[in-house]
């Protein structure tokens, strides 16, 4: 009888551990640790730019490459919540752009997280390429020299945001850790008028135009998205 009870207890413990592991897997972010094979993924932007909101002439597609002509941001008409976004970008000297995620208001860039696309770094806190602007730096510099193509894979799943940059994961964060307005988890101050935990979890995606004093050019290509259910 004792052996039977021990066996039953062992089975219950094993079931509990398995259930916990399963629950953890259900709640864990689906962020890839390397750049995925995007075969079969959707193009984020139509070739004729018919599925975006932008000022006429502000962006053009040339030989499959999206090119900014002005400082204006191009926004998707569709809103996205959980997804993996994969793209390549190239910058010139002093280029300053960014990838906007799940905007709460496309008229206010501070209503969206921005993953920086930059030659190197601007004067703002965490303004370097591969950072969540003003909020989270990349773990290490991964940018290629000016004129070479770089690769981003950005995952947004509920409160989790992760970036693989040129083959390495440089951050994987939980926005719920940003609990106060104007304050990052590391104690530094940011520009955001409300805590990032309260930011929209669904909204349009955007690409920033020729930002900064230099208004240097920026190019994007192979912009693919996979929505996560």
CA distances from 69 to 49, 72, 99, 208 (A): 14, 8, 16, 11
What secondary structure does DSSP assign to 60-75, as a single string?
EEETTEEEE-SSPPEE
Residues 61-86 have pLDDT tens digits of 999 999 999 999 999 999 999 999 99
Q: What is the pLDDT of residue 215?
A: 72
- Residue 44, token pair as written in the block: 């984020």
> From the CB of residue 30, how many other CB atoms can be counted at a distance below 10 Å?
15
CA distances from 120 to 57, 129, 156, 163, 194 (A): 27, 6, 24, 17, 27
> From the CB of residue 149, how many other CB atoms can be counted at a distance below 10 Å?
15
Q: If you average pLDDT over residues 139-150, what whole number do you get?
A: 96
**What confidence tier does 214 reach under pLDDT thresholds 50, 70, 90?**
low
**What confidence tier does 47 reach under pLDDT thresholds 50, 70, 90?**
very high
Q: If you average pLDDT over residues 159-177, what whole number do you get?
A: 98
> From the CB of residue 199, how many other CB atoms can be counted at a distance below 10 Å?
20
Which residue's structure tokens are 């947004």? Answer: 156
Q: If you average pLDDT over residues 136-162, what whole number do you get?
A: 97
Q: Considering the entire predicted model, what is its pTM? A: 0.86
Segment among 3-7, 107-111, 140-144, 146-150 with least mean pLDDT = 3-7
> Is 210's pLDDT higher than 60?
yes
Query: How far apart (Å, rounded) are the C-alpha atoms in residues 135 and 15?
Result: 40
CA distances from 150 to 101, 202, 218 (A): 19, 26, 12
Q: If you average pLDDT over residues 170-199, what whole number do you get?
A: 97
Query: How far apart (Å, rounded) are the C-alpha atoms in residues 159 and 207?
Result: 21
> Is 51's pLDDT higher than 50?
yes
Secondary structure string (H, E, C) spanning 40-54: CCEECCCCCCCCEEC
In which region does residue 207 sit, left (phi positive, over 0), alpha (psi from -120 to 50) or beta (all else)? Answer: beta
CB 116 within 8 A of CB 208: no
Could you give the 3-state DSSP secondary structure of residue 11? helix
Higher pLDDT, 131 or 4: 131
Mean residue pLDDT across the chain = 88
Q: What is the pLDDT of residue 229?
A: 83
Residues 75-117 have pLDDT tens digits of 999 999 999 999 999 999 989 999 999 999 999 989 999 999 9
**171-180 own/partner pairs: CB under 8 Å, 24+ apart:** 171/132, 171/136, 171/137, 171/138, 171/139, 172/29, 172/31, 173/132, 173/136, 175/113, 175/199, 178/135
Residues 3-37 have pLDDT tens digits of 444 444 444 444 333 333 333 333 445 689 999 99
Q: What is the pLDDT of residue 128?
A: 95
Q: If you average pLDDT over residues 132-161, what whole number do you get?
A: 97
Q: If you average pLDDT over residues 47-61, what whole number do you get?
A: 95
């Amino acid at each position: 009888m004792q052996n039977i009870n021990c066996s039953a207890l062992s089975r219950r413990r094993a079931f509990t551990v398995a259930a916990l592991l399963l629950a953890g897997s259900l709640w864990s972010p689906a962020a890839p640790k390397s750049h995925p094979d995007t075969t079969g993924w959707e193009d984020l932007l139509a070739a004729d730019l018919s599925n975006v909101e932008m000022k006429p002439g502000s962006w053009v597609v040339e030989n499959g490459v999206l090119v900014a002509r002005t400082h204006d941001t191009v926004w998707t008409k569709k809103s996205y919540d959980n997804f993996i976004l994969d793209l390549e970008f190239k910058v010139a000297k002093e280029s300053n752009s960014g990838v906007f995620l799940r905007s709460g208001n496309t008229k206010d860039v501070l209503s969206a997280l921005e993953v920086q696309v930059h030659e190197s770094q601007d004067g703002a806190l965490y303004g370097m390429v591969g950072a969540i602007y003003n909020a989270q730096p990349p773990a290490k510099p991964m940018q290629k020299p000016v004129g070479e193509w770089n690769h981003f894979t950005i995952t947004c799943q509920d409160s989790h945001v992760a970036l693989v940059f040129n083959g390495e994961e440089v951050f994987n964060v939980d926005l719920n850790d940003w609990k106060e307005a104007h304050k990052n988890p590391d104690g530094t101050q940011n520009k955001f008028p409300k805590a990032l935990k309260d930011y929209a979890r669904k909204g349009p995606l955007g690409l920033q135009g020729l930002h900064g004093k230099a208004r240097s050019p920026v190019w994007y290509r192979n912009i693919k998205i996979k929505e996560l259910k």
